[in-house]
A and B are shown apart, each in its own frame.
Chain A
Amino acid sequence: MLGARTRLLVRRELYASLSARWFYVYSAAFLLGGLLLATFGLQNTVVYGYRGFAKAFAGLVHLALLFVPLMALFPAAASVAEERESGALEYILAQPTSYAEVFAGKWGGLVLALALSLTFGFGAAGAVAAVRGVPPGLILTLYGFVLLLALCFISLGLCFSVAAQTRARALTLGFVAWLLLVALGTLGIIVAFIRWGAPEQLLAIWTFVNPVEAFRIGVIGVLDADLSLLGPVGSRIIERLGSGGATGLAAFSLAAWSLGPGLLGLWLFRRAR
């Protein structure tokens, strides 16, 4: 259970987030994008009793891949660095509270704020998707993975926020990480595979090591249990891990990304005193 001081700090961070403009801008953007995609992107047709969501669902997956890391990373990256710059952090740490409590309070508050924002946008988009015939299991899985992805990037953002001396540096680090994890890293792997014949195993490993790719694998694993959508590499992943195993490993990767940078950030925070 959280101590009273940590609960207080969580509440403080949550209120700060709810007062910030980013919360409403991101929530509105996610809501609007989700509603548009769910309304116009999903086919509401059944062919001989068959439905297919792979292509239509790709839009929602792309939306989550683009927006959720941004929504999580930048507020988290700004969080500690901003208060350090303004002197507020010094004031908080002068109170009878530990570094771990302050860090946990920031993390918890941001997680709650983002969960509210995502649930608001996702609930509305999910309602439209449900009317369009998307199975409830798929909607809930996507929602679960979206929350996990948010956790990863909050941890990563907080880690940058602690490590960087200024807000600008923290945001720059966040932007570079976002670019690398969302697109450039994968493009680099593609180039390495085509140009230098990098081994196929590298492709499989990258899909689980990169949280953004792990999110995609996890969601596709529910959509297409044998991962045939992912070609021969997908097939070999299934041979090794089984259909539930791939989704499980993707979730594990996301959980590890949520924990690892968080703990690193806490260590850096304590060290920085």
Chain B
Amino acid sequence: MLTLLLILSLQGGQIVVGGAAGHSSIAAALEVAEPGDTVRVLPGTYREHVVISKPVTLAGQPGAVIDGGGSGVVVRVNAPARVSGFLIRGSGSSQSQEDAGIMVEKADGVVIEDNALEDVLFGIYFKQSDEPIIRGNRIEGKDLPMSLRGDGIRLWYSRGGLIESNTLHRSRDIVIWFSDGTRVSGNRVTASRYGLHYMYSDDNEFRNNEFIGNEVGAFLMYSKNILFYDNLFADARGVTGRGLGFKDTDGVRAEGNVIVRNATGIFIDNSPTTAHVVNRFTGNVLAFNDVGVQLLPSVRSNEFRGNSFLSNVVPAAVTGAGDALKNDWTGNYWSEYAGFDGDGDGRGDTPFSYERLSDDLLGKYEELRVFNLGLAAAALDALSRALPLLAPRPLLVDSLPAVEPVGLESVESIAGGTRGPLAAGLLAISLAVAGLVYGLRRSVGRSA
């Protein structure tokens, strides 16, 4: 289909919109366009709703704006077309009508490339349209409360897609539902609800994406054979904040991802669902999360090997009662590990066993997390260490813990001098106080 479109576009003629000699509207140009034509739109603001029903290329010159005036779908595509180079803005705000910047319906091989979409409810919406290509677009949703926003990108029953190098800000989600074989790479999603909201879609790959400051980085449900490579999931905060979540998902392979400063780094619910299927997490960095990995009690057959768990408040937790011992935790780096490597093989000589009475209680009673980082929790842990009778069962055991972080190529040390003046100032204050006390002491001595 793509090849056919390419051939058509090479053979077709050119129709110009705008300027002295061109058509006055895009609709008028599309009316006369033949399949394979390129409709070239000159700079200017075109206040209209565009419907593309022919396999054409609609190419905006820099400064070409299509303005929907705040109603309906701005550009509707019903044929294997290409839309590129526009600023598309001003869709309607109706959720029931699914008002969007670009809506593609029942048209395979459509390419949406290098557009900017602003003030749109849904950004780019593909319905029952296979082999979509969504590349290099910038999408910014309407300034609405989260519950009233639309999705930045949505694939609905659209297989074999490519979502590449797009930037999304303040939208709801990237939604991929009932859409197998999609590749998602090099995108950046910020200040949205779900960076990626994903259901009933198999054999998909996610690579080099950045999900930053969303309520949830990515959440995958009811799907299988999903690959995650080298993505960044950061700053998903709030009580339901999760960097990466799985529910009923089989055959996950996650490698080289950085999952940092989320409320929960990785959340796993009933995944994998099938016996003999393993979800593999290798070479990922989980750092500075409130909880590194959180599992529901029934979760089993997840393999965490060669990951770095770095300064998470709690490296792993199980919601409710139970442990995570039916998952494989071999060869990870744990910043809590207090063992040593006597034989120099890079592995600790004693297993890493994670067990804390306070975490055990906080797992069962989430409300008690309000006492996190408090002395009461510390006292409980000290008590359980002193009285083995009170010690909870281990939550997890790593028989070969790494003594150095692994998969941490992008870690830098803070340059010592960056806070030099502040440090010097504080030290000076400290010394000045010491001097003052000494002086006061001497004056006391003299008056005595």
Contacts and interface: CB of A to CB of B under 8 A. Distances in A.
Interface string B394-419: 00000000000000101111101011
Given A50-B234, A55-B311, A123 B430 contact: yes
Interface stretch (A82-90, A124-132, A148-156): A124-132
A120 to B, nearest CB: 4
Interface in A203-234: 203-204, 207, 212-213, 216, 220, 224, 226, 228-234
A116 B423 CA distance: 18
A1 interface: no
A183 B370 CA distance: 14
A52 B444 CA distance: 46
Interface string B229-261: 000101101110100000000000000001011
Contacts of B261: 50, 52
Interface stretch (A93-101, A187-195, A250-258): A187-195
A19 B437 contact: no
Contact residues of A: prevailing secondary structure: helix
16 contacts: A15-B440, A45-B411, A47-B285, A50-B234, A116-B436, A123-B426, A123-B427, A123-B431, A127-B426, A187-B379, A187-B380, A216-B373, A229-B263, A231-B369, A231-B372, A234-B239
A207 B289 CA distance: 23
Contact of B370 (A15, A66, A130, A233): A233
A166 interface: no
Which of B370, B371, B424 has its CB near the most chain A CB atoms (within 10 A)?
Answer: B370
Contacts of A123: 426-431, 433
A48 B234 contact: yes
A120 B430 contact: yes
A187 B368 CA distance: 11
Contacts of B238: 226, 228, 235
A182 interface: yes
B373 A133 contact: no
Contact of A230 (B234, B369, B427, B436): B369
A14 B444 CA distance: 10
A136 interface: yes
A201 B172 CA distance: 32
Interface stretch (A57-65, A71-79, A168-176, A265-273): A57-65
A56 B312 CA distance: 9
Contacts of A235: 238-239
B233 to A, nearest CB: 11
B430 A119 contact: yes
Contact of B368 (A124, A133, A183, A190): A190
Contacts of A48: 232, 234, 258, 260, 410
A48 to B, nearest CB: 5
A175 B301 CA distance: 51
Interface stretch (B79-87, B274-282, B348-356, B359-367): B359-367
A31 B232 CA distance: 39
Contacts of A233: 367, 369-370
A39 interface: no
A139 B422 CA distance: 10
Contacts of B414: 44-46, 51, 132-133
